[in-house]
Amino acid sequence: MKTFAVQTLGCKVNQYESQQIRQILEQSGLIAAEPAQRPDLIVVNTCCVTHIASSKSRQSIRKVRKAHPDSIVIVTGCLPVGPDDETGTLDNDIIVKDKRTLSLILERLSKKQLFLLNNANHSKPRNLSKIKDKNPNLTHLSAQKHPKELLTSADSLPILTRFTGQSRAFLKVQDGCDAYCTYCIIPKIRTVVCNKPVKTVLKEAGNLIRAGHKEIVLTGIFLGAYGQKTARRKKWDSAKLDSLAGLVDKIADLEGLKRLRISSLEPLDVTNRLLEVMAAHDNIAPHLHLSLQSGSAAVLKKMARQYTIEDFLRVVEKIKRVFDRPAITTDIIVGFPGETEGDFQQTINVAKEVGFSKIHTFSFSIRKNTAAEKIAKLLGTVSPQEIKRRSTVLQQLDTELQQHFRQSCTGLTETILIEKINPPRGRCSRYFMVDVGGQPKRRCVKKGDVVDITILEKNLLAGI
């Protein structure tokens, strides 16, 4: 076996873990190949956060299997771990549920010491005899049961030396959630809340900077719980409330790091200390992604979110006092069971009041095995047509707010990380794309370069 490909679905955490998989395979001597080059091994790193994500993951697996009948296909990520047997109808070579075992399998596969696992945690491949015929070295043995805390430990795959294919490198520092928002399946998939030690994070961030990455994006499943043993705020150790702020402070101090971005947080994760740290470092982006989910107090309560609308608005006010024109982006779910027109209007009002610089709109759909499934039975669902209408209204508002925010940023001197050339375009610290091609001296920039410009009307892109 000489070549491999990794296909990724889902969030930044999954993209980070795909890089870890890639690294294991490269370090074992395999060469990354494009799908058209018929790789010997294909890893599909799946997502199942919504039904649509699950179905896209299954489609990808089927497509890969059909296009590459002679390759070994490993299915990993969230899909095989979910409470529903959503891989049940797939005919794959190997389905791997836990990351520690995944790294063992990948190493053995690369060294041609193939083995397939056969215990409760791992499905037996249906075409085992075919694989055995093609791989005479294949051995078939049972995996040992791993202690629960090892299953999703942030340390179970290697730290990255680079993030191939991207100028912005994601760095996972936290994993797991036990907050049980009623619509979310993640606490049943990434069950163990764990943190990467500060020393390890700094080593990994140093690796990424040396590899030439200009921006590091800190990620986690519940990033604000960094330093805590649980994502349930009420159970937090008060002595560790500023763990994330301390980590951010140390990373921002690393020599050569042009930009540090903090990914998704809840409003109450934004402590005074975190804002102080962000303000003290020029290389930390004045951007916070705060998931609102709904602007209605009643809906937030049904979602079991750990903050109130008042908390949200108070934190936004604080952020605006500290930073000049900060970018505040968000996620909003439309059509949660029992959401009335009045609830939706409250969401619209909050969105306008905050002036989000980007809204990711999600149309609610029931995820089996979540509390929202029961809430839907009790309160009824919002009709698909109405969900569609509300999504459209929110998306239109998003377009207006984005344009307004970008206009408000003209005159600012911004650092742009070039992501596209011809014409040269890149993301600014406030997270929107800017065209830097209008200025002749900018024409020779390369992907991954960092340039400072004063944002003018002509640098703003028409679309969003």
Residues forming the site for ligand SF4 (CB under 6 A): 177, 179-181, 184, 186-187, 221-222, 231
Closest CB 62 distance from ligand SF4, rounded Å: 27
Residues 6 or more apart from 379 whose CB is under 8 A from it? Answer: 302, 337, 338
In the sheet that holds 450-454, the strands lie side by side as 433-435, 425-428, 413-420, 450-454
Closest CB 187 distance from ligand SF4, rounded Å: 5
Do the beta carbons of residue 99 and residue 157 sit within 8 Å?
A: yes
Closest CB 221 distance from ligand SF4, rounded Å: 5
Sign of torsion over alpha carbons 20, 24, 29, 33? negative
Specify the residue, 222 or 356, whose C-beta has the smaller distance to ligand SF4.
222
Closest CB 274 distance from ligand SF4, rounded Å: 18
Closest CB 181 distance from ligand SF4, rounded Å: 3
Specify the residue, 186 or 248, whose C-beta has the smaller distance to ligand SF4.
186
> Which tokens in the block code for residue 399?
């377009």
**Closest to 139 (Cα-Cα) out of 173, 111, 166, 160:** 111
Specify the residue, 231 or 394, whose C-beta has the smaller distance to ligand SF4.
231
Closest CB 403 distance from ligand SF4, rounded Å: 29
Interatomic CA distance for residues 271 and 318, integer angstroms: 10
- List, as own/partner pairs, every contact residues 126-135 make where C-beta atoms lie below 8 angstroms and the sequence separation is at least 24, other chains included: 126/91, 126/92, 127/91, 127/93, 131/72, 131/93, 134/70
Closest CB 290 distance from ligand SF4, rounded Å: 12
Q: How far is CA 158 from CA 22, 86, 109, 387, in A?
A: 10, 28, 17, 42
Specify the residue, 97 or 367, whose C-beta has the smaller distance to ligand SF4.
367
Specify the residue, 291 or 346, whose C-beta has the smaller distance to ligand SF4.
291
> Which tokens in the block code for residue 269?
């994760």
Specify the residue, 179 or 217, whose C-beta has the smaller distance to ligand SF4.
179
Residues 6 or more apart from 161 whose CB is under 8 A from it? Answer: 23, 207, 208, 211
> Which tokens in the block code for residue 454?
């004063």
Closest CB 306 distance from ligand SF4, rounded Å: 8
Closest CB 344 distance from ligand SF4, rounded Å: 20
Specify the residue, 222 or 336, whose C-beta has the smaller distance to ligand SF4.
222
Specify the residue, 364 or 405, whose C-beta has the smaller distance to ligand SF4.
364
Specify the residue, 115 or 180, whose C-beta has the smaller distance to ligand SF4.
180
Q: How many CB atoms lie within 10 A of CB 458?
A: 10
Give me the amino acid identity at 96.
V
Residues 6 or more apart from 74 whose CB is under 8 A from it? Answer: 41, 42, 43, 44, 92, 93, 94, 95, 96, 102, 105, 106, 109
